[in-house]
Amino acid sequence: MTTQTQSPHETTADDVPGFDMFKPQPAKNSAAEQLSRPVVGYWKDALMRLAKNRIAVVALSLIVSVALIGIIGPFFFPTTNDGTAYENTQNLNFINQGPTLGEKVLVTEDSPIFMDDLIKEPFDVSAPLLKGESLRSPSELKVRGLATVNGVSLEWEPIVGVSGYQIYRTVVAGQPLALSDVVKDASVRGLQIGTVTNPAQYTFTDGSGLNPAEKYIYSIAAFVVDPATQEEFVATEAAAIEVSLTQTISLTDAQALKPNVQTGETIRSHAHLFGTDALGRDILSRMVSGTRIDFFLALLVPTVSLLIGLCYGAISGLMGGKVDMILMRIVEILDTLPELLLLILIQVALGKGVGSLVIALCAFSWTGYARVLRGEVLRLREIEFVHASRLLGAPLMSIVFRHVAPNLLGVIIVMWSAQIPRIITSEAFLSLFGLGVEAPMATWGTVLQDAAAHFQQYPAQFFLPAGILAATLLAFYTLGDALRDAFDPKLRGRD
Amino acid sequence: MRLLRFILQRLFLAVVTLLTLFTLTFFLMRAVPGDPLMRTKEIPEETRKNLEERYGLDKPLHKQYLLQLERVFIHGDFGTSFRTVGREVNDIIREQFPVSAGIGIVSVLIGVTIGIALGIVAALYRNGLIDRFAMFFCVAGISLPSFLFAFIFQYGLAVYPLTVLKFNPDNWLRPAGWGEARDYIMPSITLSLGIIASITRMLKSQMIEVGFSEYVKTAKAKGVSLPRLVVMHQIRNAILPIISIIFPILVFTMSGSLIIEGVFGIPGLGRAYMTSIQNSDYNVIMGLTVFFGGFLIVMNLITDILYGVIDPRIRVG
């Protein structure tokens, strides 16, 4: 008892007489004390609730499949001759095609054979000019050789006594246009694509702006020019012909599909499930490769804004006082700024590109996180374990990341997932403004922008990608709602 | 007294926000790489000097900033276009803003009317056919961007009937164009979808919440007839919060019209904005941003103050 420092008032077992006569009562292991069900933690509970939500599971599987196609898809793209990415490969033989599983196409030389204009001889050039009723157009218009995207060569019987021929072309797009209308009515003949001033010439080749997906009506009308007055008289009736172009593929492109193919053979072209755009690029492959950039942005931007907002909100909440007030006033001002306009402005200032998109999208989207997380921090900082940690002298940042952040995860996940569809929408929006990524690169927004340029003619080019975009947005939105319900059951069913 | 302080506080915040917007816009536009005077042709040194003097580009940056600040906020002058000589930004605003504002107001009127009706019906016939339709519609209307609807309507209501079904273009909707009453239809419907969706959703949940409240129960217990209960007790109280979101919705609608105007070929502020961006006409971009942004900020200010007047609880926060 030499080292005894206890106060004399303290009692020990030895001091109590007859202490050893007491025996501990054995604990009753009654059934009521047992936990009959497995312990379900916060996370497991949330996941279980999510898995029970059937719509959410469908949405999640849709998102996962789109993401997987985006990741794996590009590895299955066909190889190209010159090493450019398949989604950026232009092919002028296949512009503006509708969705197709591949068509039989004719293999032609790489450089198209130029067709010369032919002059009929002998021909009476100095014959008196036809006048009034007797002025007529050639009786028939024919296609010489093969009409392809490289050129349509027309042929007719020249007429003695005219000054020349006017040649027109119109597109048969959607509206049924009768040949007889074109013959009689000059207003539906379309664009005048050429004037032949030698009456003896009986061929003409049109090689500009042809589109293999279109049907054309060519028409020809003879005209005379009065030598005295220089007045021009055009025959009232024209000759017309409807021309569908033969799908061709250049030899080099064909050899990429089938190595030992020769010109003149037919082979099956690539399938374009979504069709091709105005430059002959495959739209599906552009969508697939665009998925990578869109999902990259959709994951990166919310994460970056979350980190900024978390630090900002945590500092504001934990420091309190004047700092808190000033920081929150700044957030308030930034929140009042028209976000869309500044998004556009930053993108104009920084120029196109993925990097500037990230900066522009992050610049103002962190304020929401900052505001909500500050509120959460204010709530959490009054909780005992944070007090204890402070008392023990833990640095501010360690409190933030050890104690506060893990308790914020539910709120964070809900906000984070809700931001994803907004980022995808903003990307599409900026691209429609022409402010997305650099030119050949494909995103969902640029695909839509390219299609929007001639949307009225080829609506499928717009609506198929737009359908993917809409389905993905709906899926993200439903999943976000489901996550909110799962993490915070109190909010369930509220809007 | 408290109200006055609240109003002054909001006013001060709005002014600071406006200044921030102006400053951000100014420096962002100056940060654009390249030369604002650059055109397709090389301009002679002499002309360039004259132009720089005229647009004040020869002065140091802080002087330019102050000059511009004075011009915009004291004289209300947003300057002239760099591209189209003599085109005043003020003229662009004067001519094109009423167009955008008109569409915005029509859309809000349509949206609020239909939204309120749909919200009430959806709440009264909960889980019925109309409710299910309305809820699906709400999800689509809120999560999908308005430009998607613009293209859908343009094709479905104008392009398809005109080209494929051969409707007479004289008495049917035009895919794009401006100047007649019929040209209001498609853009207004497009813009009103989002409004209908948000109002329906909000009103429905409000209606249901009010339905569970004590005073409705009391009224029911006292034997108030069902129509009177719904109209006088439920709807009247549920509709109140809707009023508070109408201004933000108007603001949102006006920004949403940026692309819609491009799609439907409407000569509004949104299209002027788009054109100026495509032409890199920095002075116009700046002027329109400050004007449009300023408009939105002022609208927000009005909403805030109105809230404060209507609901004293807001003033504290």
pLDDT digits (tens, 9 = 90+) for B123-175: 988 888 989 999 888 989 888 988 899 999 998 888 888 877 777 777 788 88
Distance in angstroms (rounded) separating the CA atoms of residues A189 and B133 = 48
Please answer yes or no on whether B300 and A474 come within 8 Å at the CB atom. Answer: no
Distance in angstroms (rounded) separating the CA atoms of residues B298 and A488 = 36
Task: Give chain B positions within 8 Å (CB) of A428.
Answer: 145, 147
pLDDT of residue A492: 52
Give me the residues of B, 47-76, that contact A with CB < 8 A: none
Is A67 within 8 Å of A424 (Cβ atoms)? no
Strand partners of residue A194:
A167
Chain A within 8 Å of B9 (Cβ-Cβ)? no
Distance in angstroms (rounded) separating the CA atoms of residues A298 and A291 = 10
Instruction: Give phi and psi for B226, each to the nearest 5.
Output: -60, -50
Please answer yes or no on whether A345 and B29 come within 8 Å at the CB atom. Answer: yes
Is A483 within 8 Å of A421 (Cβ atoms)? no
B296 Cβ neighbours under 8 A, 6+ residues apart: A338, B251, B254, B255
Chain A closest CA to B59's CA: distance in Å?
Answer: 21
Give me the residues of B, 124-163, that contact A with CB < 8 A: 139-140, 142-145, 147-148, 151-152, 154-155, 159, 163
Lowest mean pLDDT among A371-385, A454-468, B43-57, B177-191: B43-57
Task: Give chain A positions within 8 Å (CB) of B152.
Answer: 463
User: Given B21, B32, B255, which is nearest A349 (Cβ)?
Assistant: B32
pLDDT of residue A448: 93
Chain B within 8 Å of A463 (Cβ-Cβ)? yes
Amino acid at A349: A
Element (H, E) at A173: none
Please answer yes or no on whether A336 and B13 come within 8 Å at the CB atom. Answer: yes
Map out the domains of chain B with their CATH numbers.
89-279 (1.10.3720.10)
Distance in angstroms (rounded) separating the CA atoms of residues A466 and A450 = 12
By C-alpha distance, the chain B residue nearest A331 is B17
Task: Give chain B positions within 8 Å (CB) of A425.
Answer: 145
pLDDT of residue A4: 47
Please answer yes or no on whether A455 and B148 come within 8 Å at the CB atom. Answer: no
pLDDT of residue B237: 81
Task: Give chain A positions within 8 Å (CB) of B280.
Answer: 348
Task: Give chain A positions within 8 Å (CB) of B16.
Answer: 333
User: Given B140, B154, B292, which is nearest A338 (Cβ)?
Assistant: B292
Q: Shortest CA distance to A73 belongs to which of A267, A255, A273?
A: A273
Per-residue pLDDT at B118 exceeds 90: yes
Distance in angstroms (rounded) separating the CA atoms of residues A47 and A27 = 37
How far is residue B266 from each of residues A317, A450, B188, measured CA to CA in Å? 47, 20, 12
Per-residue pLDDT at B313 exceeds 50: yes
pLDDT of residue A446: 93
Chain A closest CA to B203's CA: distance in Å?
Answer: 10
pLDDT of residue B236: 82
pLDDT digits (tens, 9 = 90+) for B58-78: 778 888 888 888 888 888 888
Task: Give chain B positions within 8 Å (CB) of A173.
Answer: 163
DSSP conformational letter for B216: H
Is B293 within 8 Å of A345 (Cβ atoms)? no
Helix, strand, coil percentages in chain A from 3-state DSSP, rounded to 5 = 50, 15, 35
Distance in angstroms (rounded) separating the CA atoms of residues A271 and A228 = 60
Please answer yes or no on whether B17 and A336 come within 8 Å at the CB atom. Answer: yes
Distance in angstroms (rounded) separating the CA atoms of residues A112 and A106 = 13
Place of tokens 């109590």: A16
Distance in angstroms (rounded) separating the CA atoms of residues B224 and B182 = 46
By C-alpha distance, the chain A residue nearest B251 is A338
By C-alpha distance, the chain A residue nearest B155 is A456
Centre a 10 Å sphere on the Cβ of residue A477 and count the other Cβ atoms it contains: 21
Please answer yes or no on whether B293 and A337 come within 8 Å at the CB atom. Answer: yes
Instruction: Give the number of beta-carbon pairs within 8 Å between A and B.
Output: 115
Exposed (0-12), middle (13-18) or buried (19+): which is B157, by Cβ within 10 Å? middle
DSSP conformational letter for B65: H
Please answer yes or no on whether B143 and A469 come within 8 Å at the CB atom. Answer: no
Please answer yes or no on whether B285 and A349 come within 8 Å at the CB atom. Answer: no
A128 Cβ neighbours under 8 A, 6+ residues apart: A161
Task: Give chain A positions within 8 Å (CB) of B292.
Answer: 338, 341
Distance in angstroms (rounded) separating the CA atoms of residues A189 and A171 = 9
Chain B within 8 Å of A312 (Cβ-Cβ)? no
3-state secondary structure of A218: strand
Which of A329, A456, A491, A492 to mutate: most B Cβ within 10 Å?
A456
Distance in angstroms (rounded) separating the CA atoms of residues A143 and A151 = 11
pLDDT of residue A12: 62
Please answer yes or no on whether B13 and A346 come within 8 Å at the CB atom. Answer: no
pLDDT of residue B74: 83
Centre a 10 Å sphere on the Cβ of residue A247 and count the other Cβ atoms it contains: 19
Task: Give chain B positions within 8 Å (CB) of A333.
Answer: 13, 16-17, 20
Chain A within 8 Å of B257 (Cβ-Cβ)? no
pLDDT of residue B312: 65
Per-residue pLDDT at B84 exceeds 80: no
Q: Shortest CA distance to B198 belongs to which of B115, B107, B296?
A: B115
Distance in angstroms (rounded) separating the CA atoms of residues A287 and B183 = 33
Chain B closest CA to A441's CA: distance in Å?
Answer: 19
Averaged pLDDT score across all residues of chain B? 83
Q: Shortest CA distance to B296 belongs to which of B245, B247, B246, B244?
A: B247
User: Given A175, A338, A434, which is nearest B163 (Cβ)?
Assistant: A175
pLDDT digits (tens, 9 = 90+) for A58-92: 999 999 999 999 999 989 888 777 778 888 888 77
pLDDT of residue A69: 94
Q: Can you state the angle between helices B236-264 and A405-432, rounded to 10 degrees?
A: 40
Kind of pairing between the strands at A151-156 and A164-171? unpaired
pLDDT of residue A81: 72
Chain B closest CA to A337's CA: distance in Å?
Answer: 7
Amino acid at A367: T
Distance in angstroms (rounded) separating the CA atoms of residues B236 and A384 = 45
DSSP conformational letter for A348: H
Chain B within 8 Å of A436 (Cβ-Cβ)? no
Distance in angstroms (rounded) separating the CA atoms of residues A98 and A277 = 9
3-state secondary structure of A201: strand
Q: Shortest CA distance to B111 belongs to which of B194, B171, B212?
A: B194
pLDDT of residue B41: 59
Map out the domains of chain A with their CATH numbers.
132-249 (2.60.40.10), 283-491 (1.10.3720.10)
3-state secondary structure of B37: coil
User: Given A175, A337, A425, which is nearest B21 (Cβ)?
Assistant: A337
Strand partners of residue B6:
none
Chain A closest CA to B242's CA: distance in Å?
Answer: 14
Tokens of A62: 């849709």
Which positions of chain A have pLDDT values less than 70? 1-15, 111-115, 173-176, 489-495
Range A125-138 burial, b when 16+ CB lie within 10 A, else e: eeeebbeeeebbbb
State the pTM of this model: 0.80
Distance in angstroms (rounded) separating the CA atoms of residues A280 and A286 = 11
pLDDT digits (tens, 9 = 90+) for B256-307: 677 888 888 888 888 888 888 777 777 888 888 888 888 878 887 887 787 7
Chain A within 8 Å of B279 (Cβ-Cβ)? no
A350 Cβ neighbours under 8 A, 6+ residues apart: A356, A359, A360
Q: Can you state the angle between helices B2-30 and B61-73, rounded to 10 degrees?
A: 130
pLDDT of residue A477: 92
pLDDT digits (tens, 9 = 90+) for B199-257: 998 899 888 888 888 988 899 899 888 888 888 888 888 887 787 777 777 776 776 67
Centre a 10 Å sphere on the Cβ of residue A104 and count the other Cβ atoms it contains: 10
3-state secondary structure of B225: coil
